Amino acid sequence: MHLAYPAVLSVLLFCTGLYGVLARRNAILVLMSVELMLNAVNLNLVAFDVWLSKAAEETLHSGQALTLFTIAIAAAEIGIGLAIVLAVHRNRGTSDIDKLRDTAEGPDDDGPDDDGPGTGTPAAGPAAEKAEATA
Amino acid sequence: MTLAATAGHLAAGPTPLAAASHGFLSPTGVEIAFVLVGLVTLGAAVVTVTTRQLVHAALWLVVALGGLAVEYLLLTAEFIAWVQVLIYVGAVVVLLLFGLMLTRAPIGRSPDADSGNRWAALTVAVAAAASLVWVVVDAFRTTWIDLDGPVAGSTAVTGASLFQNWVLPFEALSVLLLAALVGAIVLSRRAKADRATDTGRPTTPNGSDKGGVR
């Protein structure tokens, strides 16, 4: 098999995942796109390991071992990521990453550390959002 | 170097081995199957990152990951293929679906699935794809994988290499999985304790307003 086929497929899958990470707004969809990127890397590792294991006399099968490690790390990553997303959703009521801008520096931001004493009181404007964000 | 390799390939052409040499425009059956499954995989991946229905994105991700498992089988990496099916299709997608349900993702079309910087993201992705495809095709256009002979990724071969050469990373990985498990449990427990202390907060007008945005 021509080596360019799996390499090109891996590149296209990686760039699809890259588009998803940059363009999606829901945090879980971003995690799905990260999975696509990790799978593209896995396909590259497997293809090059099969090529090198036939080309070389002695091989460690490092590509396939690294693929297994990547799969395990991806499973751990998706578990931690979903736990964080669920905690954020519980605290703020949204999983929209465009709204999680507490540490962003902008002209409409007056410092993240002015949380009011009453975090549960309904207030007006961005102060209530800030108070809820730091709860 | 590629020029020299091409010249060597052309020099070997008129010999009687020409029928056995590789041809770029005469693909083998494995290559045709790889390209077809690859098209399905890529299409499913594109639908995954562009659809506006969140649950459909997770279900198309199943198609993409299953297609990748078939690609591993075509590359004679059997063990990786079945690990892919078990862990990705079996566990990760189920976790993602649980996450979508627990964050109360809307069933049906959600108008704000994509953010405003979609065109910038598309530009970056297309530019990266074009440059990487150019580089990769230029680098590996005279390289072929020999898929004949003994299987490169059977369970016996993978297990032998994993437990002869890769024992220490394997054990370190088990510690990492344990740490991830404990971390996920700690994150979930602390959030639940916080929610138990102030239960009246989601009923504030701001909370209902933020919920109404979605």
> In this predicted structure, what is the pLDDT of residue A98?
82
Cα distance between residue B75 and residue A46, in whole Å: 8
Tokens of B125: 């992705």
Provide the Cα torsion A108, A110, A115, A120; round to 10°: -20
First to last CA, chain B: 56
- Residue B13 and residue B21 in contact, taking contact as beta carbons nearer than 8 Å: yes
pLDDT at B6 over 60: no
- The answer to whether the CB atoms of A73 and B176 lie below 8 A apart is yes
Residue of chain B with shortest Cα separation from A3: B144
The Cα–Cα gap between B7 and B184 comes to 57
Q: Which two tokens stand for residue B121?
A: 């993201």
Domain architecture of chain A: domains with CATH: 4-99+116-133 (1.10.287.3510)
Q: Is B55 on the interface with A (CB under 8 A)?
A: no
Taking Cα atoms as reference points, which of B15, B203, B73 lies closest to residue A132? B203
What type of residue sits at position B81? A
pLDDT of B145 over the 60 cut = yes
- Output the CA–CA distances (angstroms, integers) from residue B49 to A56, A83, B71, B103, in the order listed: 38, 22, 21, 19
Residue contact A98–B115, C-beta within 8 A: yes
A15 contacts B107 by C-beta, under 8 angstroms: no
ipTM tops 0.85: no
Burial grade of B204 (CB within 10 A; 0-12, 13-18, 19 or more) = middle
pLDDT number for residue B195: 57
- Which pLDDT score is estimated for B35? 94
- Picking from B28, B84, B125, B66, the residue whose alpha carbon sits closest to that of residue A11 is B125
User: Which among B54, B103, B104, B186 is the top mutation candidate for probing chain A, defined by the most A β-carbons within 10 Å of its own β-carbon?
Assistant: B103
pLDDT greater at residue B53 or residue A135: B53
CA A126 to chain centre: 28
Burial B33-64 (b: 16+ CB within 10 A, else e): bbeebbeebbebbbbbbbbebbbebbebbbbb
A64/B contact by beta carbon, under 8 A: yes
**Contact B122/A at CB under 8 A:** yes
As a whole number of angstroms, the distance between CA B42 and CA B60 comes to 11
CA–CA distance from B122 to each of A20, A56, B132, B180 (Å)? 9, 40, 15, 33
Q: How far is CA B165 from the centre of its chain?
A: 26
Q: What is the DSSP letter of B105?
A: P
pTM of the complete model: 0.78
Please count the residues of chain A: 135
Contact residues on chain B for A87, CB-CB shorter than 8 A: 187-188, 190-191
**Top-confidence residue, B1 or B111:** B111
Q: Hey, which residues does B114 pair with through a beta bridge?
A: A24
A53-63 per-position pLDDT tens digit? 887 777 888 89
Of B159 and B204, which is predicted with more confidence? B159
Residue A44 touches partner B, C-beta closer than 8 Å: no
State pLDDT tens for residues B168-205.
999 999 999 999 999 999 988 865 555 555 554 444 44
Phi, psi dihedrals of residue A25, rounded to the nearest 5°: -115, -30
Measured between CB atoms, does B137 come within 8 Å of chain A? yes
Task: Give residue B24's pLDDT.
Answer: 60
Distance between CA atoms of B206 and A129, rounded to whole angstroms? 8
B85 touches chain A (CB under 8 A): no
Token output for B95: 């976790």
Angle at CA B160, nearest 5°, toward B157 and B164?
145
